[in-house]
Amino acid sequence: MRFLITGGAGFLGSTLANRLVRDGHTVHVLDDLSNGQRAYLDASVGFTQGDVNNVPLLWSLLQDVDCVYHLAARVSVAQSILYPRDYNAVNVGGTVSLMEAVRATGVRRIILASSGAIYGEQENQPVVEADRPQPDSPYAASKRAAELYVQTIGRLSQIETVILRIFNAYGPRQSMPASHSPVVPRFLYQVLTGGSVVIFGDGSQTRDFVYVTDVVNGLVSAAANKNAPGHIINIGSGAEISLNQLVEAIAQVTGKRVTPVYNREKSGGVGRLVADISRARSVLGFEPHVSLIDGLRRLWEEDERFRF
């Protein structure tokens, strides 16, 4: 198959792109390199630096493409609170621009990488796809809006659409900015460098941490599966892990003693969030294979930023 991956030079996109070319597919990546790096990509992956809102550029890249993976997005919850217009422009506007170009060029299928963040606070756990989204940040709201645009334009234009709500993905090459970096690489780096592991709240809040190769397996399955179009599908590990348990797991893997510092004056986000992955199993044949302990060990061993 011939694929275009928007945001394909980032953490998740580059892992997907490299997997697809190893499987014998033709892959081209569009990325503005605001977070990704071209060096992450295999030499056989085509690359264009550009903006997902550039519709004429999208037209040129979408010729003869069978399937699009739409991963281009801004992803920081905290940053989205400060800059909601930017998140709307990229996450919503970029999605609409891409859907217009997909419609004009006759691409058969689009797969949107959405987020488990759209669920917000839910009374029942694990969350299922039928639960009513309750976005609690501009980031989450922008991803929900992107879902609705993909579904609506897809339905009106007979485009096959698959929406994957990806939970807390982690793994090598995950972006780790100075502020608001993702919790797994941040905690691991703090432990390895002897710094304080700062936890917002009391650490009892839970998340679903899913290793990047398991996420990519779900993405790959969504491209060719004849039953996937029209579905919204959770992609997670199905395991509920508290931040306190995450710190304990990092201590176990690294062999280092960890004493967390709790900042109870700052919110730790929703109290609980874990994915029900029954639909992923039944529709995609998805099964997570990498446990948290194994994933942390792989991250430590394979990401050069943690080689001290």
Question: Could you give the residue numbers annotated as active site?
Answer: 139
A 10 A CB-CB count for 297 gives: 16
| Cα gap 15→230, rounded to integer Å | 25
CB–CB of 212/12 below 8 Å?
Answer: yes
DSSP lists the bridge partners of residue 4 as 28, 68
Within its chain, how far is the Cα of 24 from the centroid? 24
Provide the terminal-to-terminal Cα distance of the chain, rounded to the nearest Å: 41
Computed on alpha carbons and rounded to an integer, the radius of gyration of the chain in Å comes to: 19
DSSP per residue over 185-209, as a string?
HHHHHHHHTT---EEETTS--EE-E
Residues recorded for the chain: 308
DSSP per residue over 47-77, as a string?
EEE--TT-HHHHHHHTTT-SEEEE------H
Q: Which residues neighbour 263 within 8 Å (Cβ) at sequence distance 6 or greater?
A: 198, 199, 200, 201
A 10 A CB-CB count for 307 gives: 9
